């Protein structure tokens, strides 16, 4: 008797596949059943299936005449946004965030005020050139974001796999790529899987120079808008106890580990029960280890700043600027000015086309940001 391990969540969302152990699955939310075309009863009569990360809003079904099942609630929780009953993203915002819904909308409006912003969803059609450009840009964003956090990205460890599979998945409408652009520059990119009317947000990141604008929240807002307009009834965020998931999710759920085994012999029942005890023990170990990890992380020293340090101060509006040199923050030599420049746009509600950056002194690393009504001096330490 052999044992087979399967990750239900991975199979379902990344491979658009239901493990062949199950003859059908029920989506609890809409009470809709999907028949599994991959079901193979004969193959599973000689296997103990140990299937983990089954979200509780999807109920896989087995043939109870042939198989027994044991279930273990897993330690890690999942986060999803259920969209049935909401006619628009703004309606969901009001439901979820109450009075604070306006703060999300203000972020969107502020971004659109400051920059010539566009949003693009690649779903069913993307060229190889566009795909490679955007995926390489997303990779750079993730690298910079995790350098800033002084942390390790699991997505980068799997990057070659992601880059290989998502091109075809997007063109087959099994995945999508969403991008926010400032003019022609991508500033936030997200790739997602799609299956049975549900979107799983797989990998996302943003340009950290735009950190003030809360691009992560804008990304979720725009993708929820797309989901509602395109017949998707769930926005899945997967596991991982992160604050933004708790804030946005209206369904924090448990995963199950299911052990499925044929009824044919006493020996198989013993083996299945051994597997059940192993799973129970593993979940207890995860719980203890995770609590210790969280405590260690809370005590850990804060990471060293990844971006250049600087101070800002208001500048005398009467000062003469005619003889100062105008600099372009998009030139590589002046990239370090992008963050204070974008922060200035956000804080003063200025459009990028009405603000100029001047070099006061290269020696002292002093610069001047001049808008319609405000001026700010920036000195790099």
What's the pLDDT at 305? 60
Length of the chain: 381
Does residue 368 sit in helix, strand or coil?
Answer: strand
Q: Give me the pLDDT at residue 151, please.
A: 82
Question: What local confidence, expressed as pLDDT, does residue 301 receive?
Answer: 59
Residues of the chain with pLDDT under 70: 297-298, 300-307, 317-319
The residues, any chain, with a CB within 8 Å of residue 295's CB and separated by 6 or more, are none
Structure tokens at 141: 């964003």
Give the per-residue pLDDT at 306. Answer: 63
User: What pLDDT is attached to residue 318?
Assistant: 65
Evaluate whether 77 touches 239 at the Cβ level (below 8 Å): yes
pLDDT tens digit string along 102-133? 999 999 999 999 999 999 999 999 999 999 99
Give the pLDDT score at 286: 85
Closest alpha carbon to 112 in 204, 183, 208: 183
pLDDT in tens, 44-84: 998 999 999 999 999 999 999 999 999 999 998 999 999 99
Euclidean distance between CA atoms 275 and 2, whole angstroms: 12
CA 236, 103, 123 angle in degrees (round to 5)? 35
CB 261 within 8 A of CB 272: yes
Tell me the pairing of strands 2-7 and 310-314.
unpaired
Angle of helix 215-229 relative to helix 89-97, nearest 10 degrees, comes to: 130
pLDDT number for residue 323: 85
pLDDT score of 303? 59
Q: What are the φ/ψ torsions at residue 251 (nearest 5 degrees)?
A: -150, 95
Task: Report if pTM > 0.95.
Answer: no
Q: What is the predicted pLDDT for the residue at 153? A: 86
Tokens of 249: 């999710």
């Amino acid at each position: 008797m052999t044992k087979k391990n399967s990750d239900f969540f991975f199979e379902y969302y990344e491979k658009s596949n239901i493990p062949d152990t199950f003859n059908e699955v029920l989506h609890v939310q809409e009470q809709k059943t999907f028949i599994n075309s991959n079901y193979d009863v004969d193959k599973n009569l000689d296997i103990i299936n140990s299937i983990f990360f089954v979200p509780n809003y999807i109920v896989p079904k087995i043939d109870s005449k042939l198989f027994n099942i044991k279930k273990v609630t897993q330690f890690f929780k999942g986060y999803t946004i259920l969209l049935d009953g909401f006619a628009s993203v703004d309606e969901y915002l009001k439901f979820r965030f109450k009075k604070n819904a306006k703060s999300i909308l203000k972020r969107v409006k502020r971004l659109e005020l400051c920059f010539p912003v566009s949003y693009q969803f690649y779903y069913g059609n993307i060229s190889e050139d566009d795909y490679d450009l955007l995926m390489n840009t997303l990779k750079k964003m993730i690298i910079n974001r995790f350098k800033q956090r002084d942390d390790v990205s699991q997505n980068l460890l799997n990057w070659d796999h992601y880059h290989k599979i998502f091109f075809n998945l997007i063109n087959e409408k099994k995945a999508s790529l969403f991008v926010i652009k400032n003019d022609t520059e991508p500033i936030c990119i997200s790739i997602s899987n799609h299956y049975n009317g549900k979107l799983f947000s797989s990998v996302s990141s943003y340009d950290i120079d735009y950190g003030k604008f809360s691009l992560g929240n804008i990304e979720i807002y725009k993708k929820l808008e797309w989901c509602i307009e395109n017949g998707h009834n769930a926005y899945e965020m997967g596991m991982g106890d992160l604050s933004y998931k708790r804030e946005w999710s209206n369904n924090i759920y448990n995963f199950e580990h299911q052990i499925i085994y044929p009824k044919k012999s006493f020996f198989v029942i013993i083996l299945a029960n051994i597997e059940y005890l192993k799973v129970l023990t593993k979940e207890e170990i995860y719980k203890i280890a995770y609590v210790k990890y969280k405590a260690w992380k809370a005590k850990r020293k804060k990471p060293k700043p990844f971006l250049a340090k600087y101070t800002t101060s208001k500048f005398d509006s009467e000062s003469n600027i005619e003889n100062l040199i105008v600099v372009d923050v998009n030139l590589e030599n002046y990239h370090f000015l992008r963050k204070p420049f974008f922060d200035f746009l956000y804080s003063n509600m200025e459009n990028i086309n009405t603000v100029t950056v001047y070099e006061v002194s290269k020696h002292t690393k002093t610069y001047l940001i001049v808008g319609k009504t405000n001026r700010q001096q920036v000195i790099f330490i």
